[in-house]
C-alpha cells in the first residue's frame, strides 16, 4: 500500500497530496471534498501525467469514473496530477478564493485614533515607538587639560579592559573624533588598530597594529619598562 505524491488541481485550490495507491475513486472523492469544497456527486476527475499538462489544457490520460477502481488500477504514479472539475450548476468559480465581495471592517483615521483598544493607543499610552519622548542629548566635553607628564617619549600604560604598555608618540588635537586632545601611543605589543595614521593623516610612525589613540584620562604615565617577550621565566628567581 505505497503512498503516492500526486498534485490535486481545481478551480479553488491546488497542491501536492499524499494518497494511498489502493484508494478507490469513491474514497478519493470523499477526501477531495475537504480539499476542494466540491461535493463528491459533482466531482469529475481527470488524470494527467503532470500538473503542467493539466494547467495548459493537455490531453488527460484517463477519466477516473469507476467509483470502485483504485488509483493503482488506473496506473497513477508519483508526480501525476488529478484535476477536479465541478459540475454543480450553482457553483461559482473562485467563490472560495475571491475575496473582493467580502465585507471588510474599515475605520477612518479619526475613528481609529479615537479607539482605546488599538496598537496606536498602546504605543501612545506607553510612550513607545514614534510616541516616545525625544531623547535628551548628552553634552560631551572632551578633556582638554593635559598633565605635564604626558609628553612625547614618556612611557605609559593605556587603561581599559586590558591594560597595554607603550610609549607616547603624539599629543595634540586631531582631525578625527569630537575634538579635544588625543594621545597617540606606540604599544609594546600588536594590540592596536593602525600604524600611527588615521583617515590618511599621519600623526606618528610605527608598525601596523602597534598604534592606539586614546583620551588623556586613559593614559597613566610612569616607570613602565618594556616587557621582554623573549624572556624565559626560568631565568627569574
**Pairwise CA distance, residues 157 & 131, whole Å:** 46
Residue 50 maps to a domain: yes
pLDDT at 100 over 80: no
* CATH number of the domain encompassing residue 162: 2.30.30.190
Confidence grade of residue 101 (pLDDT, cut at 50, 70, 90): low
Among 8-17, 45-54, 227-236, name the most confident range: 45-54
Question: Residue 33 sits in which domain range?
Answer: 3-86
Of 56, 86, 116, the residue that ends a domain is: 86
C-alpha cell at 187: 604599544
* C-alpha torsion angle, residues 161, 165, 167, 171 (rounded to 10): 20
Establish if 214 belongs to a structural domain: yes
As a whole number, mean pLDDT of residues 151-165 equals 92
Please state the pTM of the whole predicted model. 0.42
Q: Convert 71-87 to b/e letters by CB count within 10 Å (16 or more is b).
A: beebebeeebbbbbebe
pLDDT in tens, 1-13: 688 999 999 987 8
Confidence of residue 128 (pLDDT cuts 50, 70, 90): confident
Residue 179 forms part of a structural domain: yes
Give domain status of residue 217, yes or no.
Answer: yes
pLDDT value of position 94: 59
Closest CA to 60 of 70, 73, 74: 74
**pLDDT value at residue 198:** 92
Within a domain: residue 194?
A: yes
51 located within any domain: yes
CATH code for position 50: 3.10.20.90
H/E stretch holding 85 reads: strand 81-86
- Beta strands 14-20 and 43-48, pairing class: unpaired
43-48 β-sheet, strand order: 14-20, 3-9, 81-86, 43-48, 62-63
* Distance between CA atoms of residues 46 and 61, nearest Å: 8
Final residue before a domain boundary, out of 28, 55, 86: 86
Does the residue 115 lie in any domain? no
In the chain, how many domains are there?
2
CB-based contact 174:182 (threshold 8 Å)? yes
Query: Is residue 132 in a domain?
Result: no
Amino acid at each position: 500500500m505505497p503512498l503516492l505524491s500526486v498534485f490535486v488541481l481545481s478551480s479553488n485550490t491546488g497542491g501536492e497530496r499524499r494518497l494511498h495507491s489502493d484508494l478507490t475513486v469513491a474514497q478519493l472523492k470523499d477526501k477531495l471534498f475537504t480539499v476542494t469544497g466540491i461535493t463528491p456527486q459533482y466531482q469529475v476527475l481527470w488524470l494527467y501525467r503532470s500538473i503542467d499538462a493539466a494547467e495548459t489544457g493537455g490531453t488527460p490520460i484517463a477519466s477516473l469514473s469507476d467509483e470502485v477502481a483504485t488509483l493503482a488500477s488506473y496506473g497513477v504514479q508519483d508526480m501525476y496530477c488529478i484535476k477536479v472539475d465541478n459540475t454543480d450548476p450553482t457553483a461559482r468559480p473562485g467563490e472560495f478564493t475571491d475575496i473582493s465581495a467580502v465585507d471588510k471592517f474599515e475605520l477612518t483615521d479619526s475613528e481609529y485614533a479615537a479607539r482605546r483598544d488599538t496598537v496606536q493607543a498602546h504605543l501612545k499610552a506607553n510612550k513607545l515607538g514614534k510616541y516616545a519622548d525625544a531623547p535628551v542629548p548628552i553634552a560631551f566635553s572632551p578633556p582638554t587639560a593635559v598633565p605635564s607628564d604626558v609628553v612625547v617619549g614618556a612611557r605609559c600604560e593605556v587603561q581599559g579592559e586590558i591594560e597595554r604598555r607603550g610609549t607616547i608618540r603624539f599629543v595634540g588635537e586631531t582631525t578625527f573624533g569630537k575634538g579635544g586632545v588625543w594621545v597617540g601611543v606606540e604599544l609594546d605589543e600588536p594590540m592596536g588598530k593602525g600604524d600611527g595614521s588615521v583617515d590618511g593623516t599621519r600623526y606618528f610612525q610605527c608598525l601596523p597594529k602597534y598604534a592606539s589613540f586614546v583620551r588623556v584620562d586613559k593614559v597613566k604615565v610612569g616607570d613602565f619598562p618594556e616587557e621582554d617577550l623573549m624572556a624565559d621565566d626560568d631565568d627569574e628567581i
